[in-house]
Structure 1
């Protein structure tokens, strides 16, 4: 109890009409500088701060930014599972989870967030992390909203929405 086997780093390939194929990687890191990715069977402690990068490859990084829309965890490898815990909601940290930080979002092809590792009571020793992302054309203006309380405003998505996808890793 209190340790987790790291299962996998996930990569998905998506065909973007007119642009070719791009890949989305979800990679957990040991450190806030995102220099030491987890590799192989690594044990993760409950309450350990996890640092996660979502990276898109195969697109023009001068034109495209990656935006984290929603991230959540489930105790089984099913993104639609009824038991879930939200980490990021509409691009911002879940206000009910004070451990979540959105560190970089919508300014590059890589987005970063962190959270404190946990387990679902009585369900599993693992958690499965899911993120829904979209690609944004940076020329259309700001890609991700400010998460400061009281400053959230609705943006028109029709102009900057480019493509969306979901990705999962197990921890």
Structure 2
């Protein structure tokens, strides 16, 4: 049971005397039909601890009068004048309040008011609802309808940056939810901050007319967001006989999986397996795939790929296959497909080995997440020969890309 100290400013004797009106006329006409003692006890124990607000003092008397009417034909007459109450008219009878609310008055109107035990967790952090929920590339924020009501905020006047995206109130809990996703971004802003791609939206009130100098309505601005985090620097080496690399990237808000698979055909159906033999100068295809990213929001760009004869990506000698999203013009066997178009891409090249070195080859690739809103993430690459290769600067979330490494021996 939730309890708190009694309010020392309350005159319990006066409250007791008031509650004892139930033992006097005209209520005595009902005593033979329904006992007043439980009502008197409930009235006294409440009014001796809590201030008499929301007409709660009259509600005990009205509850007894209503119970009497339901169990007998007794007409009590004008009991409310003696009790200094308004004539009985109970708007709460037509008002549904959730388990976390009670019927009371706010700003002179009868409405569902937050119970203290429910509201305390929000008021302790000066918030109006629960933290942002980021699930399956969508973001949602849920506010407590009774907290909005207490502040005189009409939830139907609230919307996201796109005014057509309004809140939905649950009919049972009276919680109000606002959400956006890749299909319906609702005016979301995309910003980069260090290692994060942040999708930010705002719950606000309807735009005030430019001709309006003042407003007496509460203005609301509540920001919420979800983000992708660039994957940490990874160095995963294995023999080509294993065929693929899978990493689970934990981004804090949205999770996605990054994979690098090797194939022996352009259709990417013949996966390199434990018994697959790759010969020198044989063409192979590398598919860099992701699962869990929303291609309406971001694209994956293979920024660079290079080979070394040792496991460290910094070791020498180093042979470039892809640089700044474009193939090495000196290697005519390299081809890139779908780079920066969606959440997966592929490239191919002919197998080689380092002259005078061991048969082990390590392939390293750096990937970046690129924000697709309003622009292309496809690198612009020029022709080969004596023409100077051109590449466009792609706006990444940060300059610390993911690094995924594959090794093979022959």
Normalization by structure 1: what TM-score?
0.86
Q: Write the deviation string for residues 18-69 of structure 1: whole angstroms up to 9, x where unpaired.
A: 32x3221111111111122112232110000010000111222332211000
Residues 61, 13 of structure 1: CA spacing in aligned structure 2 closer, same or farther, 3 A cutoff? same
**Structure 2 alignment gaps of length 5 or more:** 1-238
Instruction: Let me know the Cα RMSD of the aligned residues.
Output: 2.0
For the pair 1:155 / 2:393, whether they are aligned, the reply is: yes
Residues 61, 153 of structure 1: CA spacing in aligned structure 2 closer, same or farther, 3 A cutoff? closer
Normalization by structure 2: what TM-score?
0.38
Match of 1:32 in 2: 266
Q: Give the structure with higher Rg (CA).
A: 2
**Structure 1 alignment gaps of length 5 or more:** none
Distance across 1 between alignment mates of 2:336 and 2:313 = 21
Distance across 2 between alignment mates of 1:153 and 1:86 = 15
Q: State the shift of 1:108 in Å.
A: 1.3
- Secondary structure of 1:66's counterpart equals strand
Match of 1:123 in 2: 357
Match of 1:170 in 2: 407
Aligned equivalent of 1:78, options 312, 324, 336 = 312
Q: State the shift of 1:170 in Å.
A: 1.3
The higher relative CO (CA closer than 8 Å, separation ≥ 6) is in 1
Matches within 5 A, 1:58-97: 58-97=292-331
For the pair 1:103 / 2:103, whether they are aligned, the reply is: no
Q: State the shift of 1:151 in Å.
A: 7.7
Q: Write the deviation string for residues 64-111 of structure 1: whole angstroms up to 9, x where unpaired.
A: 211000000111222111211000011001112111111220111111
Higher helix share goes to which structure? 2
Q: State the shift of 1:153 in Å.
A: 5.2
Distance across 2 between alignment mates of 1:116 and 1:130 = 16
Higher strand share goes to which structure? 1
Distance across 1 between alignment mates of 2:245 and 2:285 = 15
Residues 133, 156 of structure 1: CA spacing in aligned structure 2 closer, same or farther, 3 A cutoff? closer
Match of 2:252 in 1: 17
Distance across 2 between alignment mates of 1:80 and 1:45 = 26
Distance across 2 between alignment mates of 1:42 and 1:154 = 38
Q: State the shift of 1:12 in Å.
A: 2.1
